[in-house]
Structure 1
Amino acid sequence: MVRVKYLSIVFPVLLTLLGTNAQQTKKFFRKDYTYLTTTEAFYKIHTIGRTWSEAKQRCEMEGASLFYAGSDDEANDVISWWNQTQPFFALWVGITDFLVMDVYETIDCRPILEVYSNWGPGEPNNAGGVEDCVQLYRNGNLNDDNCGKKYPFICRKTLESLQWNTECNLPDTDYIYNEALEACYKFHIDPKNWTEAVTVCNAEQSYLAVINSQMEADYLVKLTEDAKKDKVSGLSVTGAVSLGFHNRDGGGWKTIKCSPLEDCGYAEWGNQQPDGGTNDTCGSMFYNGRLNDVACHHKLFYICEHDVRNKTLSEPLDEAFNQYTT
């Protein structure tokens, strides 16, 4: 009995460690990131311009952070890669003077003098008194600019910081694997409106959850029940979580995978639902598992889902696990 209890505690930890080591050896984080051997980090250039805060948030959604160069060598390597792949002249980096004017620090609170700090001529100059965020030019110079402007940006994930959720085959250890459903789920307790929730799930390489069976509905009810959500503020609607179905085009309720809701295996609406007409065109689930329509701008909890059907462990991991289960 003691051996079984011990394994129940140690095995998940071992699984994560072995999976992390395997991914670090493979030098893989996400398909949309490029690994640079010289810097031992992964990078992604976002070509759609965002404000500085939006850029920082997007990187965090992807499990990375807004890039800044930690050294001259990293700056040179990343700028070389940037110049070979993209044409734009400037991008946001993770440096600001938000805390105190003219005291520039990185997003992880490092003084700028400890990292790459090659300011352009006459910079920083806080032109107009509104320049608190830093951008990098393709020639290597730094410049301060208005944080509300939209520029491309680079997200970075260091190899050293990489962790791997082996059961879910994701670099996000907050996803929980359900063997019976062959899927992983993550309950988000930071309220978002429906489109924001779709964006977050997509950034996590997942999708806003879709219920395909009574078993899955029961599981999401339990997941919701167990979530530490009682003291969270910012909710527009209580007693429901956003899910991946909608009627935003007025053509009938469908899942985010474009299938009619009635064909997905579960279409159990709550009492007298849907009842919102053209005002409530996004989907949610009451805490009891029944479906509900809701206005898309309302902020709710939400659940992301990641399919892992036909998932198999690699042979090296199987061999490592065998010694703890025989």
Structure 2
Amino acid sequence: MFQLTFLCAILHMVCYAVSNPATNYVYSYEEDALFRLHIIPAVWSDAALRCQLEGGVLASPTSRGMAQAMLSTMEIHKLATSVFIGTTGILSKGDFKSLDGTDLAKTSLEWAAREPNNANNAEDCLAMNELGALEDVSCSNLLPYFCRKESTKKCRVTHVKSLCKNHGYKWESDTGSCYKFHGAAKSWRVALATCHSEGGHLAIINNENESKLLKKIYKEHVENIVVAKESRHALIGFRRWDDGEWATIHGESLGEAGFGQWSPGEPNNSGEEKCGSIHDNGLLNDAPCDEPFAFICEIAP
């Protein structure tokens, strides 16, 4: 899983990487959202208002993934106290809902031990402790809190460009993705895992322009191919699945993905060829899954 490692701040409506996650918005790849930790404590109503004035909402984790995104930032700043979340029972005693209407009972979050206890019949707001468990607390408590904003395309692109730079990918404005050619040949399954470990996936061709681009990338790096049985094609992100249909690693048919033009005579299933590749002419080819070939990875917003 990706952690909160790439930081985006909003300044004059521009999203860009920053180095201080305590005072700016943090981009979570998993949640595709921006979070800001306010360390200076506030009562619940003031926290909710502050988030609203920033164009966001008091953050309510509705999944373990979102809770983990918030906990990661708390851990970075050694925040050992609970934080307010935007889930409350103010409108209906004991019926906790987030500010966007999500019922707490429909989430995967868990209560801390002996919670909720509604101490003194005055605990209508919720907080999340440093372990990710929930507590009911008084809305007049002073606690840190998170604000959440929905991500923008510009912020996702900024994040992707940072990720690409860290792993040696090249950004291509024509497709809005970045790519990396791996000349050290691997089997399709290992190639798939290699791309994933870099934050990407085996490249998927979505249109003719992307086919031409990958053809160009292939020709630029063909001399770098090592250990391959042959060097006329490179593995990409599609294969023939158990139902006999060719589909991308994202579950789309080739037609749904946007490109399904095979190289002449392909697919020919020569020697049990169930995995996909791009031929040096930019068209599709079937290839053996267990034999090593060069491959192309992609990281997309």
TM-score, normalization by structure 1: 0.45
Larger gyration radius, structure 1 or structure 2: 2
TM-score, normalization by structure 2: 0.48
